[in-house]
Structure 1
Amino acid sequence: MKQSLFTMEHARQLTADTYELVLSGDTSAITAPGQFVNIQLPGKFLRRPISICNWTKDALLLLVRVVGEGTHDLVRCVPGTELDVLSGLGNGFDLAKGGAHPILLGGGIGIAPLYGLAQRMLEAGIAPTVGLGFRSGGDAFYLEEFGKLGCRLMVATEDGSLGTKGFVTDLARHVPECGYAFVCGPTPMLKAVHGLPQLTGGQFSFEARMGCGFGACMGCSVPTGNGYKRVCKDGPILYKEEIVW
């Protein structure tokens, strides 16, 4: 974990409530896709945890969905705004455990960490299939960016306005050869994917309300087959075999 100042460089609205942010700063504490940052906002007591979409040695890419005052203020920061950021938090996805042809499944804003994950898999010679789910075509974002990576991409929407009508689980059933999944999204989606009979293993990114973000307060603890684990410190990535619902 590293505390440092990041500078807002760019903000772009992607959908009615989703934004792309680019912050410049020291990203040396970030070691794996799936980690997150915790951002201090003026006038807010608690920091806001945000999944890392991607990063370079001196820049951070975030995808943020506005859900309250904190994220509302964050996406409206003007270029040049300095933000106090804790970076390199949590564990990350382990690329080596997924084999040569894993499937990456994301729902809504949960697609964010899968972008950096897919890029690093391709750089490592791994060929992932990516399945993304949204409520409707109007809620979809980052499809062009995933497409440019060159991985196999499938899309599902609940209303059928874009791609397959249904959920990411429906996409996964069409790819039975992918037995290992990397998953990020809302809890009902994680549970549904966890129950897919084709999966021999997987890594699931969990969300939880956090106090500190680095394991001190225990407020984000969840039960697992190996006892309680802190989403912020022992997660956010949990393995399929240890998850209990």
Structure 2
Amino acid sequence: MKKFILDLTVKSVEQLHERYVLIKLTDKHPLPEMLPGQFVEVQIEGSSTTFLRRPISINFVDREQNELWLLVATIGDGTRRLAQLKAGETLNCILPLGNGFSPIFKGEKVLLIGGGVGVAPLLYMGAKMKESGVEPTFLLGARSAKDLLMLDIFRRYGRVYVTTEDGSEGEKGFVTNHSLLQQECFDRISTCGPTPMMKAVARFARENGIDCEVSLENLMACGLGACLCCVEKTTEGNLCVCKDGPVFNIKKLLWQD
């Protein structure tokens, strides 16, 4: 896909949680085509310790409002600076980058599993599935109820099941402990979140013969495959997550249980 370098206008910044903000961006021209699972590289202005762009998953694309949504976890100087953006300011973005999730076909039963800020790309994935006539099922995990993000919006597009580690909402435990996995069969699983969670999901998928894709969150600097800092070992050799991913079928990965 063609890539663009755009100065997008900040429409709003919403504090969803003490660690998460939702940034909505727009442009005077229609936003370019973007696929679920792709990401953008954003330029950080005003941070003396941040020199490289930061990769942020595409959370949602609202074509009617011409908006791009970015769900940002404020974990360092760069992302904290993003959280301080104000409506009307501009954010320079390179987009869309990477390869997204595989297309979903009618009749498939698909489970989207997310944890933490890893839920971000699954919202757009679920919305595109619903648009194509396939209702997704979401299984979202967090430490506690207050850490669950955007549940009302996820529910617009499919069934939503929840786990929390402390049992404050949904079932207690991790996503791979949810009773849904024993009660229903799925043709495909797509997942994004902390690596231990994704490895557990991948193990479940392999044991049950379910096709599974994971969206990796390796450290990425350039977003174009030039700096090699995000390399992942695969059955095809070392591949750059930013250029050859971030979405990979688990059959390609050399993960060890």
TM-score, normalised on structure 2? 0.90
Aligned match of 1:164: 171
Spell out, residue by residue over 1:121-143, the C-alpha distance to the aligned partner (whole angstroms, 9 max, x if none): 01111122110000001111111
SS of residue matched to 1:177: coil
The one-letter code of the counterpart of 1:78 is: K
Aligned match of 1:222: 232
Matched, 1:135 2:151: no
- Map 1:1-245 → 2, pairs under 5 A: 1-25=3-27, 28-42=31-45, 43=47, 44-57=50-63, 58-96=66-104, 100-149=108-157, 151-171=158-178, 173-196=181-204, 197-245=207-255
Shift of 1:192: 0.4
In structure 2, relative to structure 1, the CA distance for the partners of 1:205 and 1:22 (3 Å cut) is same
Aligned residues of 1:37 and 1:87 also touching (Cα < 8 A): yes
Determine what percentage of the aligned residue pairs are the same residue: 39
In structure 2, relative to structure 1, the CA distance for the partners of 1:199 and 1:107 (3 Å cut) is farther
Distance, in Å, in 2 between the alignment partners of 1:137 and 1:67 is 20
Distance, in Å, in 1 between the alignment partners of 2:185 and 2:100 is 24
In structure 2, relative to structure 1, the CA distance for the partners of 1:98 and 1:208 (3 Å cut) is farther
Q: Give the length in aligned residue pairs.
A: 244
Shift of 1:97: 6.3
In structure 2, relative to structure 1, the CA distance for the partners of 1:241 and 1:93 (3 Å cut) is same
SS of residue matched to 1:34: coil
Aligned residues of 2:59 and 2:69 also touching (Cα < 8 A): yes
Shift of 1:95: 2.3
Aligned residues of 1:27 and 1:55 also touching (Cα < 8 A): no
SS of residue matched to 1:195: helix
Shift of 1:96: 2.8
Shift of 1:147: 1.1
Aligned residues of 1:209 and 1:220 also touching (Cα < 8 A): yes
Distance, in Å, in 1 between the alignment partners of 2:139 and 2:209 is 15
Shift of 1:174: 3.2
Distance, in Å, in 1 between the alignment partners of 2:216 and 2:193 is 8
Distance, in Å, in 2 between the alignment partners of 1:97 and 1:211 is 34
